[in-house]
Each structure stands twice: as structure tokens, then as C-alpha cells.
């Protein structure tokens, strides 16, 4: 069965510093990997995805993520954090041929001014 | 293009009543997914539907919950005889019919159900 782990419930980063939100996954076969962001009382917004090809994926709002097959990881990164990046971030995985996307529990990102 | 629409945004029910949650997918999308989010928790998959068909309902509680996506009109998630534990945010997502499993899902703003 496929699963996603986000080991940190919360990450605190000072504004202007680089940020990393961790995600590891378990899936049979090739994974499709996604990151979503959720602001308070809102639905999820798509940030980026990895399907195939280049391991470094660039997405919305300056975010990027690196697919590492040997470590089964898909960490979300941004070179310089903004206060407005404070939100709840979800990593998700979908196995090839499967219909549903499995979400991690989410990591709350606090960017400190 | 309008995104995924959900209504109502907030729904209050007393124990034992029925809750009906509606979802209109992005125009042209024929795949609809329902998720439940409990406070301080992630999203839990409930059900995946295509027009007039339930494809995967492995995340749906066996009793009191049902979902449909008719040929015409929105998808409906129905919860009968609600209990306090049903209080949660319910999100609908849609994706297009082509492109395969690499398609991202587009989420609606959610319906926040409160059971008194």
C-alpha cells in the first residue's frame, strides 16, 4: 500500500532564510508526487508535481522540490522564505495505475518576521 | 474558468439529521474525489467517482455515507443520521478525463460541517 510521511508537524524559519519541508513516500512502482498548500479556511492549492524526467521540479511561488528515488524522498524547498509562505503544506503520492492520491498529514510552516 | 465549487461552505446539523454536500467540478472534468479533513489532521480519501459511476469508495464509512455523481448536476456527498464525530471539513477535488495518473487534482474551498 502506498503511504506518505511528513516527519515534521511544524517547521519554523526566519524570513529570508531557505526553507525545507520534508516528505518521504512508499509506493509500488513509479510514483507521481505532488505538493499542495492550504491557507486557513481554504481548500488546497496545487504547488508542483513530479511525473518523470528532471529530478528537480519547479513550481508556484518560487517553490521547488527534488525527487530522490534512492531515498524515496520529495522534499519541498525555497531559497528565501516569505512571511506569506506561512501555511499548511501537504505532500501526496499516487502510484502508477492507481486512482487515488494519498496525502501526508501535513507540515505547518511558520515564517518568522 | 470557474474552479471547483462547493456548497454550502458551512453547514450546521443536529445529531440525527441529514447532511448534503454539493460539489461542481471544473468544467470539463469528469473525475471527482471527496476527502475529509479532521482538525489538525491531513486529508483522508473517501471516494472517487466518474459520471454515474463510483470507481473507488474504499475510504468511505460503510454506514450512513453515500456519494453520487449524476450525468447532470453536481456530485453529492450525503451523510445520514449525523453524529458529532462527523464534524469536519469535507473537500471535493476534480481532475480531467485525459492525461492519466499524472494529473493534479483541483480542490474546492470545502464544506465545514458542524454537528451539534
What integer pLDDT is reported at residue A101 of this predicted model? 86
Instruction: List all residues of chain B from 18 to 57 with a beta carbon under 8 Å from chain A.
Output: 33, 35, 41-45, 48, 55-56
Mean pLDDT value of segment B90-107: 82
| Residues on chain A bordering chain B, Cβ-to-Cβ distance under 8 angstroms | 32, 34, 36, 41-46, 49, 51, 90, 94-106
User: How high is the pLDDT of residue A16?
Assistant: 97
> pLDDT tens for residues B61-86?
999 999 999 999 999 999 999 999 99
Of B11-15, B42-46, B98-102, the one with minimum mean pLDDT is B98-102
Tell me the pairing of strands B10-13 and B111-115.
parallel
CB distance B4–A100 less than 8 Å? no
Check residue B100 and give its pLDDT.
63
- What integer pLDDT is reported at residue B104 of this predicted model? 84
SS3 B40: coil
- Which runs of consecutive H residues, i.e. helices, occur in B1-99? none
Residue A99: per-residue pLDDT: 73
Q: Which residues contact A86 (CB under 8 A, 6 or more apart)?
A: A109, A110, A111
| pLDDT of the residue at A79 | 97
Residue pLDDT, tens place only, B10-34 = 999 999 999 999 999 999 888 999 9
Contact between A34 and B104 using a beta-carbon 8 Å cutoff: yes
Res. B99: pLDDT tops 70: no
What mean pLDDT is reported for chain A? 93
- Whether B105 and A42 lie within 8 Å, measured CB to CB: no
* Å between A88 CA and nearest CA of chain B: 10
CA diameter of chain A:
44
Give the span between the Cα atoms of A85 and A15, in whole angstroms.
Answer: 9
Round to whole Å and give the CA distance between A111 and A19.
Answer: 9
Residue of A nearest to B43 (CA): A103
- Give the mean pLDDT of chain B: 91
Q: Which residues of chain A have pLDDT under 70?
A: none
Beta carbons of A46 and B104 less than 8 Å apart: yes
Confidence of residue B1 (pLDDT cuts 50, 70, 90): low
Q: Does the pLDDT value for residue B94 go beyond 80?
A: yes
- Closest C-alpha among A6, A104, A41 to residue B91: A41
Coil vs helix vs strand at B45 = strand
Per-residue H/E/C for chain A: CCEEECCCCEEEEECCCCEEECCEEECCCCEEEEEEEECCCCCEEEEEEECCCCCEEECHHHCEEEEECCCCEEEEEECCCCHHHCEEEEEEEEECCCCCCEECCCEEEEEEC
Amino acid at each position: 500500500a502506498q503511504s506518505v510521511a511528513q516527519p515534521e508537524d511544524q517547521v519554523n524559519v526566519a524570513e529570508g532564510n531557505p526553507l525545507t519541508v520534508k516528505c518521504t513516500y512508499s509506493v509500488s512502482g513509479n510514483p507521481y508526487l505532488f505538493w499542495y498548500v492550504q491557507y486557513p479556511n481554504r481548500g488546497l492549492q496545487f504547488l508542483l508535481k513530479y511525473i518523470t524526467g528532471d529530478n528537480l521540479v519547479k513550481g508556484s511561488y518560487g517553490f521547488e522540490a527534488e525527487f530522490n528515488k534512492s531515498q524515496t524522498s520529495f522534499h519541498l524547498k525555497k531559497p528565501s522564505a516569505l512571511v506569506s509562505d506561512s501555511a499548511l503544506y501537504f505532500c501526496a503520492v499516487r502510484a502508477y495505475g492507481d486512482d487515488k492520491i494519498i496525502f501526508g498529514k501535513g507540515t505547518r510552516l511558520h515564517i518568522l518576521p | 474558468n470557474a474552479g471547483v465549487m462547493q456548497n454550502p461552505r458551512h453547514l450546521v446539523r443536529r445529531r440525527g439529521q441529514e447532511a448534503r454536500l454539493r460539489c461542481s467540478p471544473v468544467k470539463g472534468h469528469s473525475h471527482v474525489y471527496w476527502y475529509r479533513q479532521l482538525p489538525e489532521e491531513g486529508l483522508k480519501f473517501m471516494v472517487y467517482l466518474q459520471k454515474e459511476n463510483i470507481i473507488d469508495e474504499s475510504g468511505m464509512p460503510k454506514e450512513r455515507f453515500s456519494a453520487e455523481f449524476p450525468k447532470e448536476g453536481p456530485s453529492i456527498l450525503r451523510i445520514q443520521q449525523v453524529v458529532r464525530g462527523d464534524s469536519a471539513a469535507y473537500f471535493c477535488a476534480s481532475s480531467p478525463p485525459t492525461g492519466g495518473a499524472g494529473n493534479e487534482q483541483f480542490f474546492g474551498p470545502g464544506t465545514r460541517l458542524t454537528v451539534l
